[in-house]
Amino acid sequence: MLKGKHIILGITGSIAAYKAAYLLRLLIKQGAEVQVVITPSGKEFITPVTLSSLSGKPVISEFFTANTGEWHSHVDLGLWADALLIAPATASTIGKMAHGIADNMLVTTYLSCKAPVFIAPAMDLDMYAHASTQHNLDLLRSYGNRIIEPATGELASHLTGKGRMEEPEKIVEILDRFFETAQPLRGKRVLITAGPTYEKIDPVRFIGNYSSGKMGFALAEACAEAGAEVVLVAGPVSVKEKHTAIHRVDVESAVEMYNAVLAEYDRTDVAIMCAAVADYAPETVSDVKLKRTGEERVLRLKPNPDIAAELGRRKRAGQCLVGFALETNDEEANARLKMEKKNLDFIVLNSLRDAGAGFRCDTNKVTVIAREGSEVEIPCKPKTEVAADIVNMVAGYFANKD
Ligand code: CTP
């Protein structure tokens, strides 16, 4: 699976840096193209000459090559990579990565990198167990990075405990398995809408709904995990995206969401319309706060654009369009009708009658109906897991088309 893959091997200042030479050799043997980026203290432990001889490429350490003045673009490097592997990763580099302290070529490359990141820590047992290190590792996990847990054994300090960098063979196996299974949406661009929309009445009031955005954000994370580049158009929500492959665009009203979505749609392979878009907006928006008059008041509403239906009209061959339907009665018939009307490839049906499904909860229970006929019931489980199931179905759709 590693044949032809572009891998950045980041090496930092740990005694385990000597194992990086063997790791590099194994990656090259598997057919990977490897660019080594080493930190200044990494060079104290292993000479770049060894590494460039093994990789067949000059080792990058500084932002500039001293004698030629050539600039090394961390941005280009980050885009070139299919994976960034940092092995060994010291507590210091882990801390810098967790907090965006970009004072060397490796951390700047990390911050620019769109590819999956694997981190193999190596340090003394007490450093590894320290709350600060563990907190930083948790932060890196929350960014979608993968930590290759260190092994337990004798350490450079002659103490025994957890902190030894995982063996190179094992690291290569982890990468290999990752490329085999984990990225069915690699190279795809996914557009997702999430959350509610707010339709202004006056400067302090709006028409909204109870959507929390959790399902849409879970889908965005699952798509990014599956290797996609994600544009997430979000209504007003308090959830936050974590994965670095998610580009978030914040909007408030249905019209803003419509414009943001249409600006992206042409470049999109998959569009997942998960937002609870208001179907109507006040016909006029007052510039000043409306005062209580004691009289009855009538709010005239005008229809909002139907974003999913517009995408259905514009859909071209090769694009996959997924909609959601939240129904309270005649669920399946209504959902199928929506799928037809909006020219969707899949519709994800939520029923408000199901416990643990729909707005504001962390779980969902849905039925995914495919235009091509299949119908899959996903039992009540965390929205993150429901999202992973939906993403697998979308990936399957592309696999069948290819
Ligand atoms: N949708 C949209 N733009 C709208 C309304 C809905 O993109 N203005 C999308 C939703 O994101 C969802 C699908 O269309 O993917 C169905 O939304 P839903 O609110 O269930 O359907 P409506 O078409 O609004 O029909 P109704 O409210 O009458 O059930």
Q: How far apart are CA 228 and CA 391, in angstroms?
A: 10
32 by DSSP, 3-state: which?
coil
Residue 331's alpha-carbon distances to 4, 208, 309, 348, 378, in angstroms, are: 48, 23, 19, 11, 15
Mutating to test ligand 1, I would choose from 251, 264, 306, 352 the residue with most ligand atoms within 8 A of its C-beta, which is: 306
Atom of ligand 1 nearest to the CA of 305: 8
CB atoms within 10 A of CB 264: 16
d(CA 398, CA 138): 33
pTM for this structure?
Answer: 0.70
Which of the listed residues 193, 215, 264, 277 should we mutate to test ligand 1's pocket, taking the one with most ligand atoms within 8 A of CB? 277
- Between CA 73 and CA 61 the distance in angstroms is 12
Pocket test for ligand 1, best of 261, 280, 338 (most atoms within 8 A of CB): 338
Return all residues near 162 (Cβ < 8 A) that are at least 6 apart: 125, 128, 129, 150, 151, 152
- DSSP structure string for 47-96: -HHHHHHHHSSPPB-SSB-TTT-PBP-HHHHHHH-SEEEEEEE-HHHHHH
Asked if 6 and 81 touch (Cβ cutoff 8 Å), the reply is yes
Query: CB of 233 within 8 A of CB of 260?
Result: yes
Ligand 1 centroid – CA 276 distance (Å): 7
Residues having CB closer than 6 A to ligand 1 are: 193, 254, 273, 275, 277, 279, 304, 306-308, 323-326, 338
Rounded to the nearest angstrom, the distance between the alpha carbon of 227 and the centre of ligand 1 is 28
Bond prior to 58 in cis (omega within 30° of 0): no
What 8-state DSSP symbol labels residue 196? B
Q: What is the number of alpha carbons within 13 Å of residue 393 lying toward its C-beta?
A: 26
Q: 211 alpha carbon to ligand 1 midpoint, in Å?
A: 13
Residue with tokens 């179907």: 279
Cα distances from 185 to residues 4, 188, 225, in angstroms, run 18, 5, 9
Which residues are bridge partners to 64 per DSSP?
71
For ligand 1, the distance from its centroid to the CA atom of residue 323, given in whole angstroms, is 8
- Report H helices in 150-195: 168-181
Q: pLDDT 10s per residue in the chain (402 long)?
A: 788 889 999 999 999 999 999 999 999 999 999 999 999 999 999 999 999 999 999 999 887 766 666 767 777 888 889 899 999 999 999 999 999 999 999 999 999 998 889 999 999 999 999 999 999 999 999 888 999 999 998 888 888 888 999 999 999 999 998 887 768 898 899 999 999 999 999 999 999 999 999 999 999 999 998 989 999 999 999 999 988 889 999 999 999 999 999 999 999 999 999 999 999 999 999 999 999 998 999 999 999 999 999 999 999 999 999 999 988 889 899 999 999 999 999 999 987 777 766 676 788 889 999 998 888 999 888 899 899 999 999 998 887 776
Question: What distance in angstroms lies between residue 370's CA and the mean position of ligand 1's atoms?
Answer: 17
Q: Which atom of ligand 1 is nearest to the CA of 323?
A: 15
Please report the atom of ligand 1 found closest to the CA of residue 261. Answer: 7
Nearest-CA residue for ligand 1 atom 16 is: 325
Instruction: Return all residues near 386 (Cβ < 8 A) that are at least 6 apart.
Output: 215, 218, 363, 364, 366, 378
Distance 306 CA to ligand 1 centre (A): 7
Q: Whose CA is nearest to atom 8 of ligand 1?
A: 306
Q: Mind telling me the catalytic residues?
A: 209
Atom 12 of ligand 1: nearest residue by CA position = 324
- Is there a contact between 13 and 39 (Cβ–Cβ < 8 Å)? yes
